[in-house]
Structure 1
Amino acid sequence: MFSITSPVVEMYRQEMGLENGDALQLFCRYAGSESGLCIGVERGLPRDDDYVQEVDGIRFFVRPHEVWFVEEMKMDYDDATDHFRIELPSIA
Structure 2
Amino acid sequence: MNIVVTKPALQYYKREMDVKNGDFVRFFVRLGGCSTVQSGFSLGVAVREPKEIGVSETIDDITFYVEESDLWFFDGHDLKVKYSRNKDEIEFEYQN
**Which TM-score tier does this pair reach, normalised by the shorter chain?**
0.7 to 0.9
Alpha-carbon distance in structure 2 between the residues aligned to 1:5 and 1:63: 20
* 1:24-39 mapped onto 2 (5 Å cutoff): 24-33=25-34, 35-39=39-43
Gaps of 5+ in 2: none
Counterpart pick for 2:61 among 52, 57, 61: 57
Gaps of 5+ in 1: none
TM-score, normalising length: structure 1: 0.78
TM-score, normalising length: structure 2: 0.75
Percent identity over the alignment is: 30
RMSD: 2.1
Comparing both structures, which one devotes a greater share of its residues to strand? 2
Instruction: Report how many residues are paired.
Output: 88
Q: Which residue of 2 aligns with 1:43?
A: 47
Q: Once superposed, which parts of structure 1, at least 4 consecutive aligned residues long, lie more than 6 Å away?
A: none
